[in-house]
Amino acid sequence: MEDPLQTNLKHVRGRIASACARSGRDPGSVRLLPVSKTVPPERIRLAYQSGCRMFGENKVQEAAEKAAVFADTPDLTWAIIGHLQTNKAKVVAEIAAEFHALDSLKLAEALDRRLQTEGRSLDVFIQVNSSGEESKFGLSPEEVPGFASALRNYHALRVRGLMTLAVFSDDREQVAGCFDRMRTLQERLRDCDRAAGSYHELSMGMSGDYELAIEYGATVVRVGTAIFGSRRLSA
């Protein structure tokens, strides 16, 4: 009998394909990033066996513990997608293949320094507060072009694009507005000669809104609950 996780994965992949079809996009242009925070290793292993090769983690310590568990699985990689304090930059430089929440030059400097010590580089996404909510991390859209230009000084950081969390709302127009602002910003950065890196990637859309995000150009969708089920609560 098929495990519910495998059923969920098929369902999410099918919905991604349908959203791409509605948008006239190639399903291969959208990458599913399963968010495995609080998910035990045995469930991650099952997702790996179902074709997943990169997993998103919000907390650095949890990601480091899981990276140690899967050290014998070299093609399983990790994306850090949550807010990062500079004192955790060393761990990210050691274990992460991607970082989706770059939002300060102080953090960029800390990561760059640690990466150079490790002799490696890191794919990064600039986090944008597309909803303007004070509770969310990220730069305002107006701050991003200047920030992107300043990142030219950090050579171990490979800027791949932008990341956002849309407003949490049942109002489709409000959510779509966040995604539309991201698409507009992406186009602006593509035309900016001074911006570091490339802006082909948009990391946006989660379990409740990833199909809408795809319609607005998302290339990475971060899906947790729709794959792994409800989160375990910490004791």
Asked whether 65 and 37 are in contact (CB, 8 A), the reply is no
pLDDT in tens, 16-33: 999 999 999 999 999 999
pLDDT in tens, 134-151: 999 999 999 999 999 999
Mean pLDDT, the chain, integer: 96
As a whole number of angstroms, the distance between CA 31 and CA 8 comes to 16
pLDDT for 138: 98
User: Per-residue pLDDT for 178 more than 90?
Assistant: yes
As a whole number of angstroms, the distance between CA 53 and CA 30 comes to 14
233 assigned to some structural domain: no
User: Per-residue pLDDT for 87 more than 90?
Assistant: yes
Asked whether 162 and 128 are in contact (CB, 8 A), the reply is yes
What residue numbers bound the domain in which 134 lies? 4-228
Tokens of 176: 């779509």
234 assigned to some structural domain: no
As a whole number of angstroms, the distance between CA 37 and CA 232 comes to 9
pLDDT in tens, 107-118: 999 999 999 999
Q: Average pLDDT of 174-203? A: 96
User: Per-residue pLDDT for 13 more than 80?
Assistant: yes
pLDDT for 119: 97
98 assigned to some structural domain: yes
As a whole number of angstroms, the distance between CA 95 and CA 63 comes to 8
pLDDT for 235: 38
184 assigned to some structural domain: yes
pLDDT in tens, 161-177: 999 999 999 999 999 99
Q: Average pLDDT of 217-232? A: 93
203 assigned to some structural domain: yes
For position 168, which CATH number holds? 3.20.20.10
Q: Count up the domains in the chain and report the number.
A: 1
What is the DSSP secondary structure assignment for residue 156, as one 8-state letter?
T
What is the DSSP secondary structure assignment for residue 121, as one 8-state letter?
-
pLDDT in tens, 147-166: 999 999 999 999 999 999 99
235 assigned to some structural domain: no
pLDDT for 106: 98
User: Per-residue pLDDT for 229 more than 80?
Assistant: yes
Tokens of 75: 């093609």
* pLDDT interval class at 232 (50, 70, 90): low
Whole-model pTM? 0.95
